Structure 1
Amino acid sequence: MPPKRAAATAASAATKKTAVATTTTKKTTATTATKKTTIAAATKKTVATTKKAAAAPKKAAAAPKKAAPKKAAPKKKTVAEVAPESDKENTEEPEKKVVTTKRKRTRDDEEQAPVASSSEDESAQEPVDAQAQPAKKRKVAAPKAPAAKRPARVLKAINEKPKRVLDMFVFGEGTAGELGLGSVKVDGKKPIDVKRPRLNPNVSNVVQIACGGMHVAALTKDNKIFTWGVNDQGALGRDTTWDGGLRDVEDEDDDSDDEDDTGMNPKESTPAEIDTSGLPEGIEWVQVVASDSATFALTTTGQVYGWGTFRSNEGVLGFSRSVGIQRTPAHVPELSKIKQLAAGLNHILALDEKNKIYAWGAGQQAQLARRLLERDDTAALYPAGVGSLPGRAKAVKLACGSYHCFVIDTKGRVISWGLNNYAECGHEDSVGVDGGYVMRPQIVESLSGYEIADIAGGEHHSLACTTDGKLLTWGRIDGHQVGQPTGSFTEDNTIYDDRQKPRILVVPTEIPEVKDVVQVAAGTDHSFAVTKDGKVYSWGFSANYQTGQGTTDDIESPTLIDNTAIRDRKIVFAGAGGQYGIVAAEKEEAQN
């Protein structure tokens, strides 16, 4: 029986029994009055009837309990009813795996179904029956003029756009398209296995470059973001579907080196603009950063947009708490008035104008500076503050290694946290121990004697330069990541293995042979240092030509990169990924 009808019937029964017990009014009159009473009037009288019935016999007292009008419980909407259509379209089927045979590693294309909050319960309230109201005319309100539309709030610009235009030179393996040279030979030169710096002609007017693990993002002077490289999990922010297929290596002839086509996806290996169709008009970009499988971009107004996904030790972690893989740029609503971004392998840092630092992504190596509950691993995808910095530090620069983080403050001090088992954070605590972490931001005391200008982290090593141009390195040694000669290692600054070979340089140590350094960069196991006079040095693991030295042998100490492409150019930037490197020079003025 409908709730209203049940309430009216119970109320009528209670009214009749109460009338018999307490008054001498004729039964016919009571019955007639009850029949004329409407549903809403019966509801109003229930409270009074209940009070009278309390004095009646027990049977009569039981009636009001059933007579109390009950509102219908609000109907809860299911996730399917509430979730926006746009979220449903962007969500991929869980557990779906895409295997790309040309990749050196397989990535899972999983996605989490979006979860939406339930709607408000206003519609569940019962309307009052108009017939139950006193007999008087209802006033009809005059129609109101439509309210004037508020203009969209204009956000104030707080960040400046980079202006220096660059020529970009690339080198390294390139089989994942990360060199951006396309998929075919040009002038007889292959777009892969580039031994020394080569000018990339496929993107021009570049003002800023971000190197991810196997992809690259570049911001141009005309406010466009170009991407290239691996797009298995949306890191390029655009559609790269290609029907060309892959060549069967076993069927190729011995002279296959003469083939012009490498078989790479040309849409991935050729720089192209991100998909901006879903973004508001008028966005102006100031910075891009790239992690292993995601890209993020910062605007002049301090808003953050991103695409791709984060990965944890178990596979795809997700892009946000409701989206597994974000294929096109999406706003990060939790952040505003951001001044700077930095990217690790699978985590991101953001600094706002009030000196608050946010971190999100994978956090299993303490790189988010907070403890995470295993039962809710998606909590790491929500940007949250890392806490106050020690020593009342005010941050001016952020940097990340694969699993560790750095902050340089206004006094040139360094603060770090994250994975530290190879002393990559610069702390002596927990070094040489699996799972050795620095859980909270701490001042790096081993750098206290220096004023640091720039800093970078690789997978298990780090390097920095001072305001007076000194170069310092520390961390893992076995692949020549620190670029130190053997004589630099002592029992005071180094941990040795059982065979008395140096394994971890615990204390940041100077490399005096390289002077006037103004910028440093680190890949997985190789590094770069750019000097004031526009020269660039490299060292470390070089099996895929990622040092730009033209060899697959490890480069044991910082060595000048010198080839005809960059010899007479002033290098002002160096960047590194997993198996490649990029250097950039100020763009040459057109000759008259």
Structure 2
Amino acid sequence: MSELNEAPSPADEEEVWSWGAGTDGQLGTSKLQDEHLPQLLSLTSLPSISMLACGGAHVIALTSGGKVFTWGRGNSGQLGHGDNLNTSLPKPLSFFDDDYFISQASAGWSHSAFVSDSGCLFTCGNGSFGQLGHGDNISLTSPAKVSYFVDKSVKMVACGMRHSLVLFAGNQVCGFGSGKRGQLGVSSDRTKSVNLPCVVSGLEGVEVVRVAASGDHSAAISANGELFTWGRGFCGSPDVQTPQCLPSSQSFREVALGWNHALLLTFDGKVLKLGNTLDKQNEKQQLQEDSSETLLEKVIGFDGVEVLQIAAGAEHSAAVTESGEVQTWGWGEHGQLGHGDTNDQTNPQLVSLGSGDLQTKETNVYCGSGFTYVVRRKQQLSSSPTSS
């Protein structure tokens, strides 16, 4: 996920598009159905969006004013409205009103986490694996402050399927929740679950600037562009219990994790991948059984094009190019690629988002487990003076 750092000007117009799996209301269309083509949403009740977070079947939206809206599946309380109900349209999360400015959020399979500008962390939703970090395995229908971080100034949170990662002051990373595949990075032994934050070992002396989590994977990026991964192994390689630095001559500024793959974005706009959801067996055959080296490949289709942002769903991928185009590839069963069908695509394909009398100023793409969102900020084209 990424954030829009520039506040919209009065002349800007914001477009929000969604497509893919929609039977739990996660597309925000008010219809409980999948959509194979991008749907332009009419979100008059939702002010300017600063970022989205997409989970298993729910969405969190933050506004430029620090307000929170959630919608989609709410069966575990992940929407934070004090109940276990689904909602098919964005609903304001009143818990934070007037008390907290929420600056970052993350959505897991069925839990949610929120970071305030004062460095506090709040979680809600399914807590059965300890992924809420409150020292128990209780699920919560309203956000609750995680006491461990009260005086630790949280910078960022990332939610996986059943675990959470937190980056806090001092460049330290904590993990909590399910750890059976090593995704918590708390020890060399397999840990089934942890319900209190534990410091990830193996990142001592590393200036971590970004964390990511999805499925049973965890990742971190350092200030100098090194990528560390731990948890479930990619391409059939063994699980990793503590963070391992990826041997590469490239420097990375962004990582997006899926259930079986990872996308990596370099500082010069190249996209690389670990794993491949559509050809897992072939990749396994390319690995030597006694090798711990992970297969790193260039994503085909972006030659000569700079990519500005990447996103990964459970089994699909998306990217925004320098021209503001959105391209998607991977698994397409629910229409999450936005091409009008349910076909899989091994290489990036352009998504048509319409045109008009506005020019795109900024585009951001976000992926849930089987659905996709795009937020575009556009501005009026300057008109040429007419002669009389």
Quickly name the TM-score band, shorter chain normalised.
0.7 to 0.9
Partner of residue 19, structure 2 = 171
Report what 2:340 is aligned to.
550
Partner-residue secondary structure (3-state), 1:468: coil
Query: What TM-score comes out, normalization by structure 2 length?
Result: 0.85
Secondary structure of the residue aligned to 1:334 is helix
The 1:581/1:513 distance shift into structure 2, 3 A limit, reads same
Tell me which residue corresponds to 1:79: none
* Count of residue pairs brought into register by the alignment: 363
Structure 2 partner of 1:443: 245
Q: Distance in 1 between matches of 2:201 and 2:99?
A: 34
Distance in 1 separating the partners of 2:68 and 2:380: 23
Match of 1:575 in 2: 366
Secondary structure of 1:387's aligned partner: coil
Q: Judge conservation of contact 1:298–1:341 (CA < 8 Å) in 2.
A: yes
Structure 2 CA distance for aligned equivalents of residues 214 and 591 of structure 1: 40
**Alignment partners' CA distance in 2, 1:539 and 1:517:** 15
What does 1:432-581 correspond to in 2, within 5 Å? 436-445=238-247, 448-477=248-277, 479=278, 494-496=283-285, 506-514=294-302, 515-564=305-354, 569-570=360-361, 572-581=363-372
1:347 to 141, 145, 163: 163
- Tell me the alpha carbon deviations over residues 137-195 of structure 1, each in whole angstroms, 9 at most, x when there is no partner: xxxxxxxxxxxxxxxxxxxxxxx995444532100120011111214xxxxxxx62222
Secondary structure of 2:50's aligned partner: strand
Does the residue aligned with 2:265 lie in a helix, a strand or coil? strand
1:230 aligns with 2:73: yes
Between 1 and 2, higher relative CO (CA 8 Å, sep ≥ 6) is seen in 2
Matched, 1:361 2:177: yes
Q: Could you say which residue in structure 2 is the equivalent of 1:329? A: 143
Residue 308 (1) aligns with residue 112 (2): no
Query: Shift of the alpha carbon at 1:382?
Result: 0.5
- The structure-2 alpha-carbon separation of the partners of 1:472 and 1:161, relative to structure 1 and needing over 3 Å to count, comes to closer
SS of structure 1 residue aligned to 2:284: strand
Q: Read off the aligned partner of 1:583 and give its amino acid letter.
A: V
> What letter is aligned with 1:528?
A
Distance 1:476 1:512 in 2: 12
Match of 1:174, SS?
Answer: coil
2:50 is aligned to 207
TM-score normalized by the length of structure 1: 0.57
Task: Indicate the SS of the match to 2:348.
Answer: strand
Report what 2:289 is aligned to.
none
Q: Identify the structure with the greater helix proportion.
A: 1
Equivalent residue, structure 1, for 2:198: 384
Deviation (angstroms), 1:511: 2.7
2:63 aligned residue (220, 234, 240): 220
- 1:274-289 to 2 correspondences below 5 Å: 274-276=93-95, 281-289=98-106
Distance 1:591 1:288 in 2: 36
Kept in 2: contact 1:171–1:194 (CA 8 A): yes
Any gaps of 5 or more consecutive residues in structure 2? 9-13, 287-292, 384-388
Which has more radius of gyration? 1
Correspondent of 1:273 among 64, 78, 92: 92
Instruction: Give distance in 1, aligned partners of 2:27 and 2:4.
Output: 25
Deviations 1:526-550 (A, max 9, x none): 0011112211110011011001111
- Distance 1:480-1:220 versus aligned 2 partners, 3 A rule: farther
Please identify which structure carries the higher strand content: 2
* Aligned counterparts of 1:522 and 1:345: Cα–Cα separation in 2: 13
Q: 1:373 to 1:544 in 2, by over 3 A?
A: same
Q: Distance in 2 between matches of 1:317 and 1:406?
A: 17
User: How many angstroms does 1:240 deviate by?
Assistant: 5.3
